[in-house]
Amino acid sequence: MSDTTYVRKGFGLKAEVQDTLAADYTGQLVDMLRAREYTLTAGDTTVRLAKEFGFCYGVERAVDYAYQTRIKFPDKRIFLAGEIIHNPHVNAKLREMGVVFLSASGKGFDYAPVEPADVVILPAFGVTIQDFQTLRELGCVVVDTTCGSVLNVWKRVEVYARDGFTSLIHGKYYHEETRATASQVEKYPGGQYIVVRDMDEADLVMDYITHRAGRPTIRPALTRVAFLDKFARAASDHFDPDVHLDRIGVANQTTMLARESLAIGAAVGEAMAHAYGEAHRSEYFRTFDTICSATQDRQDAVVELLREPLDLMVVVGGYNSSNTISLAALCAEQVPTYHIADPDDIDVEGNAVRFRTIGPHHHEESLTDWIPRAGTLRVGITAGASTPNNKIGQAVARVFAIRGEQVDTRL
């Protein structure tokens, strides 16, 4: 792509979109919580906000560039590869601006509607190298908002492939970011990857390694056929566990639960040493913590908040937002937790909440009388990195409204 068709640093129109962005996403109530040491009390109700929450730099940049693109090309058709971020409110705003969302197709997106005269925005999660090739051949303008933290993981995976290591990625094989990351191995002939969702799936990989080396395993290892069937959608096309698990480099989707990523990396290294010896691990195993700093900061802030006595936690963010799901999982270990996609999921008059349950078999559920109408109540709140401040503030206001309290947003 040429300099005229590939844009990664915006269009210099930040000042032109600043007021619109502020109107769409700024929250006065959140500003007030910050000014009052993240605490707001009215009557018997106290809301405590985690000290790190909401929009991260990568998300702000992606949304900013999308708005700039609309101003830069007022008369062009603008397409977006999937969702700019995983937040329904933000994506709805872009649709209102006339941005057309491209649907998924295979491991990438369907670019059939796109013509050379059009503009395509790439989301914060990035796209696969096959997507890049398709866009290069189309010759359209490409606005790349891929997060810098994601690019760092790509570089790590690319180095693994270059050096003949299989990338073991802690993530969700169907997530846009993980698909884009996994595709980086294809820059080198024979590059391989396998994606594990959690420690349970990592255990399957470790058992296979240990069994194949002739060492005893705690659990029966999968056969080669069963292993390939289990990871059919989570491994590279020509992945062979009998060949491609001898050299492993661990990476992760940037929004996963950090402690689990670190634990998986350590455990896989131990399995390699148990199977083949310490010398083999030293030479043929690599691991790096590629969780992004914003994800880590939000998880650390929640852990700190959970040290306080809380009656419940509200976590605001899209149901397909991986970093929000990780926050909700942390909270649910300590206190009743409600992961809501939007403040509208809280029904003030009916004292009801619609939320996403937490765990591998999650589903949407509704509950009435989820907040006691009277008595002392302490509510914690946080939000994923793709959640705007105004939506966090609206959720806080609805909690107070259920308790019969009106909150003055004047500082």
Residues 107 and 183: beta-carbon distance below 8 Å: yes
Distances (CA, A) of 158 to 1, 6, 285: 20, 22, 15
Q: How far apart are CA 403 and CA 411, in angstroms?
A: 21
177 is catalytic: yes
Nearest CA-CA partner of 168 in 224, 220, 213, 235: 235
**Number of other residues whose CB lies within 10 A of the CB of residue 37:** 10
Map 108-122 to HEC letters. EECCCCCCCCCEEEE
Hey, is 100 helix, strand or coil? strand
Q: How far apart are CA 69 and CA 40, in angstroms?
A: 38
**Cα dihedral 326/330/331/334 (nearest 10):** 160
Q: What is the DSSP secondary-structure string of 162-186?
A: HTTPEEEEES-TTSHHHHHHHHGGG
Sign of the CA dihedral with 387 first, then 388, 392, and 397 last:
negative
Residue in 158, 176, 177, 186 annotated catalytic: 177
The catalytic site residues sit at 177
